Every structure is written in structure tokens, then in C-alpha cells.
Structure 1
Amino acid sequence: MSPSPIKVLIVDDQPSVQNLIRHALTEDREIEVVGVAGDAYQARDLIKQLNPDVLTLDIEMPRMSGIDFLERLMRLRPMPVIMFSSLTQHGSELAVRALSLGAVDVLPKPLEGFTKEILQKLTSSVKTAQRGHRAKGSGAVGPVVRGTPEIVDMARWNGKVVLMGASTGGVAAVEAVLTRMPRDCPPIVISQHMPETFLKSFAGRLNDLLPQNVQLGRDGEQLKQGNIYLSPGGLAHTGVRRNGRHFEVTAIDAPKRNGHIPSVDELFYSAVDISEAITAVLLTGIGKDGAEGMRELKRRGAYCIGQDEASCVVYGMPRAAADMGILDQQLPLQEIAKAICASCETRRA
């Protein structure tokens, strides 16, 4: 017997957008659009009535914003949500906020209209969201960390660099790890699958949230303790290399890898020659980006950590690494910062 279709509720105040989304989703036999709401209040009533599996939600709506509704929804009835946001600076900041609150994905809403690629990505995101939710059962859908996290203590830094990769669910996961890191943490370089404008907003959000200095990684920039570097995306991947006695960021001019710029594999492969000075971390995400690069790092002496299935929004990238047998540790999200610090400190006698 074939599985039941994924029930989707569309929430958007523009009828033309509602129709576009409905048409794109109903072309897939695995998806059923069960209703359409013009604002958050209609959505609230329809959720109770129709019990959808997945919500598509516009960030900017009348009466109650999509962000405010998402925050209430995640507190009272957690469920997979795909958000739409404009590519303006304000829209990008809201998009990152939505991902931090637990939205599974945020898709761009271009001023000139939806492209075929975006609508195809929507269908894929709906399926990904529901698969992850079914695997977990009822309850929270993402690694949204409540309360004030406990900061990890770290002894003297041993000079290692941390390379971290994430995709779907990664914003909340990255925040959960970084908010537990000490102020004088080892240098951390992050490759997060996200549009360029969103990455800039994510770096700004992290810089406001954390005591460390957070910035977009620029070519030739020296890696320093207490600093976090986020790949800026755009036309180049981000890597690391040795330059004399220190390590630095390098921009890698290459096509998309595993469908992404920035790619986690590109980040990991860039550091193969300095593997013994690397702790590599794979967090939640669809696909297998990062697993092959992590295997090469592991072969040459890197320490490798993966997020466990229970705390992932999508157990894809860490699973690929686990299936290869290359993880030194596979841990719940809240324990990863401690493991990173332990691998990057000088051992006490």
C-alpha cells in the first residue's frame, strides 16, 4: 500500500502566490494541498481543523507576521515549516531568525517572481521536512535550544582549527554549538548551505549573539583564537591553508559541489594537508556534502565529530560520515561543544 500523501497548508496573503505554490505542489503525487490561509489567524484555525503535516508560510503578512506566528507555533504545536522571504537585507535578517526558531527551510521570494528552480526546491523541502518529522515522531522538529546553555571550559588551546559544516536545520544547530563555546575558543570556520544574502545576515546575528568575534571569512585572513569565520558563499567556496606559522582563510574558485556554494566538502578537502591540526564537525543536513572530505581528513589524522540522529532535523550528512565509519564521536547537539573543546586543548599531565 502506498504511503499517505503529505498534507500541506499554504499560508500567504497574496492569491497569486497561493496559486503558484498550490500548482507546484499538486504536480507531485506524494503531496496534497489541504488548504490555503490568507493570514496567521486563518492558519491557526485551519491547522486545528485539517491537521496538516507541513506548513508553507510567508514571513511578511498582515495582522500577524510570519515570524511571530512561527514563534507561537513552535512553542504550542511544533511542526515542519517552510518559510518564504524576500532577498532584501530586512528579509534576510528575518529569514535567519526563522531558521533559528526552527523553520526547516527558508526559500527566497524574488521580487520578479518565482523561478522554476525555487518551486522545485519547495517540493523537495516539503518532502525533506516530512521525512525528518516522521523519523522523529511527534514533538519538536528541530534542535531549538531553550534556556541559557552552559559554557564549556577549555584548558590551554593546542593550536587546532575547527571546521564545521551544516545544511538543513543548520542555523539552529550551529547556534546551539557556538553558544556553548568559551570566549577564547579555537578558530572555527563554518560552511552553511544558504544563499549569499542570508549568510551575511547570519554572520551579523551570530556576532550579536556571541562573545566571540564573528565575521565572513575573507581570502588571506589569518585564523585567530576567539574568532569564528562564516563562509560568505556567492561565487566562491571557503577553505583553509597554512601560511608560514599560521593558518588562514582561502577563497576557492570552483563550481558548485554537491549542488552547493559554499560546499562542506570543499572546506574539508582544502585542509587535507594540515589534517593533524583539524577537528572536523558535521551537523544536520540533507545529502552527503562533507562526508567524502571528512574521510580524507580522517585518513591523515583529523579528529571527526558528527551530530547524532535524534537531534538532527535531517540525518543526512552526519549519517553519510557514520556509514563510512570515520566518526570519532557521534553526539547529541548539546554535547558537541564539549567534544570540540576537548579535542582542541593541551592535555593535562
Structure 2
Amino acid sequence: MLVDDSAVVRQVLTALLGKDDSIEVIASASDPIFAMDKLNSNWPDVIVLDVEMPRMDGITFLKKIMAIRPTPVIICSTLTEKGAATSMQALAAGAVAIVTKPKAGLKNFLELDAGDIVQAVKAAAGANLRPIRAMHATAPIHTLSTPTTNTAYPSIKINIDEVIPALDIHATSAMAVTTDKLVAIGTSTGGTQALELVLTQLSRTAPGIVIVQHMPEKFTAAFAERLNKICAVEVIEAKNGDRVIPGRALIAPGGRHMQVKRSGAQYHVEILDAPPVNRHRPSVNVLFRSVAKCAGRNALGIMMTGMGDDGALGMRDMHDAGAETIAQDEKTCVVYGMPKEAVKLGAVDKIVPLDTIAQLIEVYGNR
């Protein structure tokens, strides 16, 4: 079901989703009041929901849905700071994905991103909502986002080797262990809820953390700001040159890649303006390969809930370079995609439930 006050959005999304044989748009509505009437007769597997609508806003409607009959909801939000802030509230209420839309050129934008929108709906349809409900029962949790391409490069897709050359295992494995350790985390669908659970459990002395969460530009800044208010560790959207230090978590900015560099025993991040790698920007593969190259066995790699396979190759690089690697287990993932692909490549040392990851990070940092 599509719920959006824009007739153009409803028309375009209906046409795009209808092209996929596995998706049926059973209804559309211009606001939540009309949607409520239609839900009484036919309940969908997935709801695509605008957040700013007349008569009833999307967040209020979302809360009603989650109270009555928890259903995967994708937020269709404008790519603005206001849209990002509002979407964070929707994520906190239990939504499972974000699809962004610009203020202008809407039809062209949605058609360019048709593949991502279709995949987001399919991922939402198969999402495991049990972890979301369990975490909402104990604390206010934000949920997730969805892989995004960057519209500056709508038709360009490159391989990771074009951003970071392939790993030289001999050079990496020869690096000495230092007192400066780092943790690299990759996640996508279901990731914001999972990250919040992990980061809020960490102490101020936790090792430095670098994170790629698939999320559109502008949204990562709002996400980091909200996390920073509730975590003991400092959580910030990464800027070029930021140091990776204990007690700090750096989140890759939406729409740009992030890699780690090493200067002596110290680590810092470099923010790259490069095309998407296999549809993703930021890319977990880019981050993980950079960590493998500059940190080797001084790093801990963590793959959490997410759709697709981004990060699997990079985690294998980390594993081959001597880093410890863990993956979130299927039971606690909203979507068991990225961890599963890393496991299939033999890149994972341990498979663990979400609620043990923070403890493992603390143990790793105290060795």
C-alpha cells in the first residue's frame, strides 16, 4: 500500500513497483485517514508512507499501525534536513527503511532509483520485525535505512578495486600490533536500531569505532546527533581527517565513502567523493578493505543486519589480514543478508546475537 499526498508519487511508484512480477500494489491513499479505511478490507505486506501529510501525519499513523498490527513500513521522505529529522522520529516509531525523494524532478529521480526502491520493498517484505518489537519494549530505538546510490553518479557503478587497490596480504600481515586498536562496523537494513543498542551499551573507554550505515545524505548527520545525546561514547558524522580514538564512533556521511588511514600508530579517516561501489555510497567494502590495509590484525570487524552483500569481500580482506571478525546471527537480524554473505565467504570467526556485540567490543579493547 502507498500512502502519500502527492498524486505524482503514488502514480510513479505504482508504475515502478508494478513492473516487478513479485510485487502487487493493492491500494494507494492520499492520507492516513483514507488509508485506514482501506486497511480494514485489505492489509498489505508492506506500507510505503510519506511523513508530512494533511489530516494525520505519517508518524502518528505509523504508531497506530505498530500498535494494531506491526507491519514493515518504508518511509518516503524528502532529501532535506527537515525531512531527515522527521524521518528519524519515524524510524524511532518502528519504520524499517527510508526512500528519499527530492523537492524537484521527482519523477525522474524515482525512475533512476527504481532498482533501489524495488529492492527496499522486497527486503521490507521479508524483514524480521521481532528484534524491532523486542528492542522497542525495552528502550526507544531507531530502526533502519536502506542502501542508496548518489544521484550525482546515476549511471556509474564501479568495482571496489577502482577505489582501493586489492590487498597485499604480505605487507599487511607484517604490521606490528599497536596499542591503538579500532573497530569497523558495517550495516544496512535494520542497522540504526542495532547500532543504537550496541553503542548505548559502550563505555567511554571503548576502542575507536568506524561505521558505515547505509543511509542517505543529510540523514547520517541527524542519526549521529541523536545517538550522541544518548551514548557515553562520542558519536559524530565523520569529517575528513577525524581521528579514530577511544571513546569515539565515526559514522560515514551519507553520499560519500569513508576509509581509514594510518599515520604511525594513529588512525584517521578520509572522506572520498567517488562513485558508488556496487550501488553503495558509502560502501562497507570500501571501509573494510581500508581497515584491512592499514590496521590488519589491530582491528575488529563486525557485520550486522542488512540487505545484500556489501561488506562481505571487505570482511574477507580483514580476515585474511589477521583481524578478528564477527557477524550478527540470523535470529536477531532484521534482514540476514550482509552477515550471511560474509559467512558464506569464510570471512567470519564468530556468529553472535546482537545483545553480545557491545561486550565483545569492550573485551577486545581491554586486551
Alpha-carbon distance change, 250 to 15 in structure 1, aligned in 2, over 3 angstroms:
closer
Q: What is the count of residue pairs matched by the alignment?
A: 326
Alpha-carbon deviations, 1:40-98, whole Å to 9, x = none? Answer: 23323322320211111101112221122223322332111111111121101122333
Native 8 Å contact 2:131 2:332 kept in 1: no
Out of 242, 261, 264, the residue aligned to residue 221 of structure 1 is: 242
- TM-score normalized by the length of structure 1: 0.86
Q: Deviations over 1:94-138 (max 9, x none)?
A: 2233334332221112111132123442222111211x24xx4x8
- The amino acid that maps onto 2:118 is T
Q: Which residue of 1 aligns with 2:51?
A: 59
Query: What is residue 205 of structure 1 aligned with on the other side?
Result: 226
Q: Is the 8 A contact 1:143 1:313 kept in 2?
A: no
- 2:80 match: 88
The question of 1:314 aligning with 2:314 is answered no
Greater Cα shift, 292-301 or 45-54: 45-54
Q: Which moved more, 1:140-149 or 1:293-302?
A: 140-149
Match of 2:286 among 252, 256, 266: 266
Corresponding residue for 2:261?
A: 241
Q: Counterpart of 1:196 in 2: which secondary structure?
A: coil
Aligned-residue offset at 1:148 = 4.3
Counterpart residue number, 2:5: 13
CA apart distance, 1:141: 6.1
2:137 alignment counterpart: 146
AA paired with 1:309? E
What does residue range 96-107 of structure 1 map to in structure 2 within 5 Å? 96-107=88-99
- Residues 62-71 or 83-92, more deviating: 62-71
CA positional deviation for 1:219: 2.2
Deviation digits for residues 275-310 of structure 1 (CA, Å, limit 9, x no counterpart): 111111111111111111111111222111111112
Per-residue CA deviations over 1:201-228 (Å, capped at 9, x if unaligned) read 1122222232322212222222221111
Which segments of 5 or more consecutive residues in structure 1 lack a partner in the other structure?
1-8, 150-156
Secondary structure at the counterpart of residue 259 of structure 1: coil
TM-aligned CA distance change 1:30 to 1:279, over 3 Å: same
1:145/1:337 Cα in 2 relative to 1: closer, same or farther (>3 Å)?
Answer: farther
Label 1:45 to 1:161 Cα distance change in 2 as closer, same or farther (>3 A).
same
Q: Determine the structure 1 residue equivalent to 2:353.
A: 332
Contact 1:275/1:301 (8 A) holds in 2: yes
Match of 1:230 among 251, 268, 273: 251
Give 1:117-136 correspondences, 5 Å limit.
117-130=112-125, 132-133=126-127, 136=128
Q: What is the TM-score of this pair, normalised by structure 2?
A: 0.82
Q: CA RMSD in A?
A: 2.2
For 2:325, what is the secondary structure of its paired residue? strand
Q: Cα–Cα, structure 1 residues 26 and 255, in superposed 2: closer, same or farther, change >3 Å?
A: closer
Is contact 2:331–2:353 with CA below 8 Å preserved after alignment?
yes
Match of 1:251 among 271, 282, 289: 271
Q: Which amino acid aligns with 2:137?
A: R
- 1:32 partner SS: coil
User: How far does the alpha carbon of each residue in 1:139-163 deviate from its partner, in whole angstroms, 9 at most, with x for none?
Assistant: 56677443249xxxxxxx9632111
> More displaced, 30-39 or 97-106?
97-106
Residues 217 and 229 of structure 1 are in contact (CA less than 8 Å); yes or no, is this contact kept in structure 2?
yes
Partner of 2:171: none
Counterpart residue number, 2:305: 284
Unaligned runs of 5+ in 2: 141-177
* Contact 1:189–1:228, Cα closer than 8 Å, also in 2: yes
Alignment of 1:183-194 (within 5 A): 183-194=204-215
1:46: which partner in 2? 38
Is 1:108 the counterpart of 2:100? The answer is: yes
Q: 1:72-83 residue pairs with structure 2 within 5 A?
A: 72-83=64-75
Q: Quick check: 1:145–1:176 contact (8 Å CA) kept in 2?
A: no
Matched, 1:323 2:344: yes
Q: Which amino acid aligns with 1:304?
A: T
Kept after mapping to 1: 8 A contact 2:3/2:48: yes
- Cα distance, 1:329 vs structure 2: 1.8
Structure 1 CA distance for aligned equivalents of residues 254 and 359 of structure 2: 28
Report the Cα distance in structure 1 between the residues aligned to 2:298 and 2:365, rounded to whole angstroms: 9
Please, which of 19, 23, 31 is the counterpart of residue 27 of structure 1?
A: 19
Contact residue 202 and residue 233 of structure 2 kept, 8 A:
no
Query: Equivalents in 1 of 2:290, 2:272: separation in Å?
Result: 9
Q: Residues 68 and 238 (structure 1 numbering): CA distance in 2 closer, same or farther, change over 3 Å?
A: same
Out of 197, 217, 239, the residue aligned to residue 196 of structure 1 is 217
Matched residues in 1 for 2:324 and 2:115: separation?
37
